[in-house]
Amino acid sequence: MEKNNMSYEVLFVVDLTPGEEGVKALVEKFTSLIADNGTVNEVNEWGKRRLAYPINDMNDGYYVLVNFSAPTDFPAELERIFSITDGILRSMVIAKEA
């Protein structure tokens, strides 16, 4: 059975506590995970920004926006991995209209 690919975008916020190397490692981990399970169209690293509200007593985070296409079952798995990964403050996967 052929899997249908859809377009998605994911925005995730990385904890700055581990330092620049730790942030880069997490960004690389997730962009590689997405590339392994789909096609990465664009990666926009927005960098360090102020959070709208404190999360875990932190006021700043490192924002990354990734546009990609993947099979329809992958976003749920990606959200699960985000939720169990230390260093990810928030994440959101959105299906884009074709």
Q: In the chain, where are the structural domains located?
A: 5-95
The DSSP bridge partners found for residue 67 are 9, 42
Q: For residue 56, count CB atoms less than 10 angstroms from its CB and return exposed for 0-12, middle for 13-18, buried for 19 or more.
A: exposed
What sign has the CA pseudo-torsion 23, 29, 31, 32? positive
Interval 77-98: pLDDT, tens: 999 999 999 999 999 999 997 6
pLDDT at residue number 1 = 40
pTM for the model: 0.91
Interval 4-45: pLDDT, tens: 789 999 999 999 999 999 999 999 999 999 999 999 999 999
Domain 5-95 CATH (choose: 1.20.1530.20, 3.30.70.150, 3.60.15.10, 3.30.70.60): 3.30.70.60
Q: How far is CA 62 from the centre of its chain?
A: 11
pLDDT at residue number 4 = 79
Q: Is residue 70 within 8 Å of 34, Cβ to Cβ?
A: yes
